[in-house]
Every structure is written in structure tokens, then in C-alpha cells.
């Protein structure tokens, strides 16, 4: 036996391959074919008959009527009473197959309610777990945590106008922020380099001053 799935045409390809492979084996004496109700297998049957394997084929009809094209092949039949059901099954839609539970499992309440089989025993109450009250009350809020950016902005002083010079520093209180006044200590400037004087220039200047006096 080969499991081919739940689709309607899933078994066709595998049945044809099994028929063509096994009928050519010298160990195969007879093949009992049970798909005589479907005209889709007539080409596969004609192919093996043309190759000379007609004497290996036996039909086993599942219903009272055989497909017209297969019946025209005039193959021998083997009928066993009560082996198959006499009425043809109606295939379910794909939606019903996909939504239904697997065989052997109980029907879910929602599916049972749609089918009209909902009872008091099948209804169950589902409780949602809640966190304890003490955990909720003691857990800190996310908004209360101060971020790194806000901490930097809080510690940054407000800008104040400063006026610096070489000798003194003057701070105007009116230009500063009214909420905070910061005392600023200026950095002392390094002394300038001493200029080198030309001795000849000094002598000439002194001589001129002496002549004037």
C-alpha cells in the first residue's frame, strides 16, 4: 500500500507508474487492477496491452458500472461480493478537509457549533492568567528611569555672556540667566615675548636727544 494523500488526483500518477513497472517484471504473474471506474487509466492500460502484457491484466470493478473506454478493452473481470461499497463517495471540499480535525480526535467546540452539535459538556471556560497585585504595584515604571541624554542636559549650565580682556574680566548680571549665575574664572594669558632692540638704534636715538638738549 502507498499513501498518496487526500487529494482527488494524487493517486493517478503513482498507480500508472506502479502498473507500468510491475507488469514488465518476469516475476509478476497477474495484476488485479481496481481502477476500472475511471477513464483516466485507459491510456495506461492500452500502453501495456500494446506491449504484449494483456494476459497479465485482470479488472476488479468496485461499482456495478465500468467506465466505457475501459469496458471497450474487453479485459477479464474479477468480482467479489461485498468487497467494495456499491455507492460512490462524494468528495468533500478542500475547506472542509483543511478545517476539520484529524480522524480519532474530538471535534473542537467552534466546529461543533457550526455543525449544530454543541452541547454543555463540550463548552469550556478559559481563564487568562493575571499578574499578582503586589508585583504590579512594586514594579517600577519605565518613564521614571532617567536617560543618559536627559542627565547630560540637566547637568549642563545655562549660557552666560562673558567679556574677557588681557587685564580684567567683567561679567554682566543682566545678560545672565535669571535662574542661575555662574562665576567664571578666566584663564590668565601668558606674558608676551620681549622685543629685542638694535644697539645702534639706541645709540643714535640717545645721540639725537643729547644734541637737542
Contact 202, 210 (CB under 8 A): no
User: By CB neighbour count within 10 A (0-12 exposed, 13-18 middle, 19+ buried), where does 11 fall?
Assistant: middle
- pLDDT value of residue 121: 46
The span from the CA of 12 to the CA of 105, in Å, is: 29
For the chain, the straight-line distance linking the first and the last C-alpha, in angstroms and rounded, comes to 140
| DSSP letter (8 states) at residue 55 | G
* Residue among 19, 65, 27, 78 nearest 46 (CA): 19
**Residue 170, phi then psi, degrees to nearest 5:** -115, 130
- pLDDT value of residue 187: 58
Query: 31: helix, coil or strand?
Result: strand
- pLDDT value of residue 188: 56
**How far is it between the farthest Cα atoms of the chain?**
159
- pLDDT value of residue 176: 46
10-residue averages of pLDDT along the chain (213 residues): 72 87 93 87 93 93 85 91 77 61 60 52 49 50 59 58 45 48 54 66 80 75
The pTM score is: 0.40
Per-residue cell: 100: 476539520
How far, CA to CA in Å, does 203 sit from each of 165, 195, 206, 209, 212? 36, 17, 5, 10, 14
Query: What pairing do the DSSP bridges indicate for beta strands 162-164 and 169-171?
Result: antiparallel
Amino acid at each position: 500500500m502507498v499513501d498518496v494523500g487526500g487529494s482527488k488526483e494524487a493517486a493517478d500518477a503513482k498507480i500508472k507508474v506502479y502498473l507500468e513497472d510491475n507488469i514488465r517484471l518476469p516475476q509478476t504473474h497477474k495484476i488485479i487492477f481496481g481502477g476500472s471506474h475511471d477513464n483516466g487509466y485507459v491510456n495506461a492500460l492500452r500502453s501495456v496491452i500494446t506491449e504484449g502484457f494483456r494476459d497479465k491484466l485482470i479488472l476488479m470493478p468496485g461499482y456495478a458500472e465500468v467506465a466505457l473506454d475501459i469496458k471497450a478493452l474487453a479485459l477479464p473481470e474479477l468480482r467479489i461480493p461485498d468487497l467494495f461499497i456499491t455507492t460512490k463517495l462524494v468528495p468533500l471540499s478542500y475547506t472542509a478537509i483543511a478545517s476539520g480535525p484529524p480522524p480519532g480526535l474530538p471535534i473542537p467546540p467552534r466546529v461543533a457549533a457550526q455543525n449544530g452539535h454543541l452541547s454543555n459538556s463540550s463548552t469550556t471556560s478559559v481563564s487568562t492568567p493575571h499578574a499578582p497585585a503586589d508585583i504590579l504595584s512594586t514594579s517600577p515604571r519605565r518613564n521614571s528611569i532617567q536617560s543618559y541624554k536627559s542627565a547630560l542636559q540637566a547637568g549642563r549650565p545655562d549660557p552666560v555672556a562673558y567679556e574677557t580682556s588681557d587685564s580684567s574680566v567683567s561679567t554682566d548680571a543682566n545678560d545672565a540667566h535669571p535662574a542661575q549665575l555662574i562665576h567664571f574664572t578666566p584663564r590668565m594669558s601668558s606674558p608676551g615675548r620681549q622685543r629685542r632692540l638694535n644697539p645702534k638704534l639706541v645709540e643714535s636715538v640717545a645721540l639725537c636727544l643729547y644734541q637737542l638738549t
